[in-house]
A = this chain, B = another copy of it.
């Protein structure tokens, strides 16, 4: 890394500098992420494909740590059911869910080189560039702001009109663009089986696998609401022209929770645990006023005022906040933004995004949506399988039930081989039709009746069927549950965490800037390095002993026996975000150094591994350890 890149990273401590040169900052960070094996473009020896990203050993360890914390914060804390569904999905599922029709982006083509572009991104880019022009009028600026706030939700015609009005051309080439924008489905399509007859897609979210199995999970939960099902898995979205490498990937890991709840009772027993939290929130109404930004609100008040539509939604917003902060996300660059009415997905009733600010702007990293009963109803309708829950009523209620009883002997005599079709058609009558038939039978004694499955009309007389309404007492209510869905883009969260945790500081000699990843110990890929101060047999044995203990505790560590100076060793470990370093400098005791404070404590050789383990597992802090050993 050269000194320009170095200084750009250094600038990260001053947010304004990153904002000034976001591209240079990103480029410098990308170099570290590759050099230290966090992540890099896939299939690079073949020049790769945009939108695909591999995790190297450091990145994979961070991912496993993030998932482990996620399980602790959500799955274990709430006794959720974690499941595993397939990514390959037959078409009928996404027909039912609406994805085949609606999971699209609008695209325009560079008419000369044939390259496709996302229409909304072009308009957005145009507005953002123009806004930087200080000579534009206040009126024009307000127009641009207004357009920016709705650009993702414009129709093909509206977007096409804007592209023509502003004379927007293709990026890089300035070529004219096709008109009007066309929808492009973002799901990857494939064919399942050897006959080519079963169309399939790769899931763009894990949720549908959960919805179709609702009855299984309802059984697993003892047929009681609320309960939650969690799933971690790769999902696939065929982005039109992914430019924001780590942010807009074509294959990425989602961690999703489907919390099923009675639509008449969205309270949450643990809401009091989070109601006093305060953090940046950006409600819908605030966004509609111009010049507003997110403000610190108290979560309990936001729910009480109805800004957040239920305790359950509020509870998850609070838990997501705690989780992200625990990962090392900067509170000041984290906000919860409510979707505007025209912005919500085709299935959502209310939605709040946890957005994290990074060099790409405010990025949606977690979506917390109330999907209402949309998906269960859709699958139930197409599959003809009931996906419902039952709740005991406070006291039984009277209901009227329609009972249609064909008299089989009469029907058999009259219709012979057609009897079955006639019976089924009668039983399929809805209440209105049935009561009309009852009236006609009572007044005229018979009625003409169209049997679709026979393709003809038959005559029904009053001896052939009894139609009546029965009053019964029921003690349960049967309903389709609502679902509240927190959905975590693990890769985006990780990338934002890298941006928030990277920093630089001068070397001891002051002659250069050194990179430091200030990961919380729980997240750091490697928890500890072990250096023998000199290479002799005693120190080597002590090093082995510590390493063996750390391994048996499952603590990832590295031993550095290179001939480098201790300063260089620290610098290399700091750049990887290793929080603790053990220097073996005696046969009986060692020095432990903490990355951020660069403070040191001495502990006995015997204790060294367990002290580091307790901090790496989050059971003790560095302050706890210092207080005990120095105090």
Given contacts A189-B190, A238-B193, A238-B194, contact A82 B60 (CB under 8 A): yes
CB-based contact A209/B45 at 8 Å:
no
CB contacts (< 8 Å) of A194 on chain B: these are: 107, 116, 184, 238, 240-241
> What are 15 of the A-B contact pairs (CB < 8 Å)?
A43-B90, A45-B213, A46-B93, A50-B193, A52-B86, A54-B209, A54-B213, A55-B84, A59-B84, A60-B82, A61-B82, A114-B195, A193-B240, A202-B202, A234-B234
**A285–B538 Cα gap in the complex (Å)?**
50
| Chain B residue nearest in CB terms to A383 | B45
Q: Mark A107-142, 1 if CB is under 8 A from B, else 0.
A: 100000011100000000000000000000000000
CB-based contact A45/B238 at 8 Å:
no
In the complex, whether A65 has a CB less than 8 A from a CB of chain B is no
In the complex, whether A42 has a CB less than 8 A from a CB of chain B is yes
CB-based contact B554/A46 at 8 Å:
no
In the complex, whether A92 has a CB less than 8 A from a CB of chain B is yes
Given contacts A37-B220, A220-B37, contact A86 B198 (CB under 8 A): no
**Residue in B54, B191, B240, B241 whose CB lies within 8 Å of A83:** B54
CB contacts (< 8 Å) of A83 on chain B: these are: 54-57, 60
CB-based contact B46/A216 at 8 Å:
no
In the complex, whether A63 has a CB less than 8 A from a CB of chain B is yes
CB contacts (< 8 Å) of A59 on chain B: these are: 84
> Which residues in window 174-207 of A have CB below 8 A to B?
184, 188-195, 198, 200, 202
In the complex, whether A212 has a CB less than 8 A from a CB of chain B is yes
Given contacts A107-B194, A193-B49, A238-B193, contact A216 B84 (CB under 8 A): no
In the complex, whether A457 has a CB less than 8 A from a CB of chain B is no
**A61–B554 Cα gap in the complex (Å)?**
20
Shortest distance between the CB of A256 and any CB in chain B (Å): 14
In the complex, whether A87 has a CB less than 8 A from a CB of chain B is yes
In the complex, whether A89 has a CB less than 8 A from a CB of chain B is yes
CB-based contact A551/B76 at 8 Å:
yes
CB-based contact A89/B43 at 8 Å:
yes
CB contacts (< 8 Å) of A82 on chain B: these are: 57, 60-61, 64
**A57–B228 Cα gap in the complex (Å)?**
11
Interface size class of A (residues with CB under 8 A): 35 or more
In the complex, whether A250 has a CB less than 8 A from a CB of chain B is yes
CB-based contact B54/A85 at 8 Å:
yes
In the complex, whether A379 has a CB less than 8 A from a CB of chain B is yes
**A233–B87 Cα gap in the complex (Å)?**
12
Shortest distance between the CB of A41 and any CB in chain B (Å): 10
Shortest distance between the CB of A48 and any CB in chain B (Å): 8
| Chain B residue nearest in CB terms to A551 | B76
In the complex, whether A53 has a CB less than 8 A from a CB of chain B is yes
**Residue in B90, B193, B195 whose CB lies within 8 Å of A46:** B90
| Chain B residue nearest in CB terms to A50 | B193
CB-based contact A81/B54 at 8 Å:
no
In the complex, whether A304 has a CB less than 8 A from a CB of chain B is no
Q: Mark A445-477, 1 if CB is under 8 A from B, else 0.
A: 000000000000000000000000000000000
Shortest distance between the CB of A233 and any CB in chain B (Å): 8
Chain B CB count within 10 A is highest, among A49, A107, A220, for A49
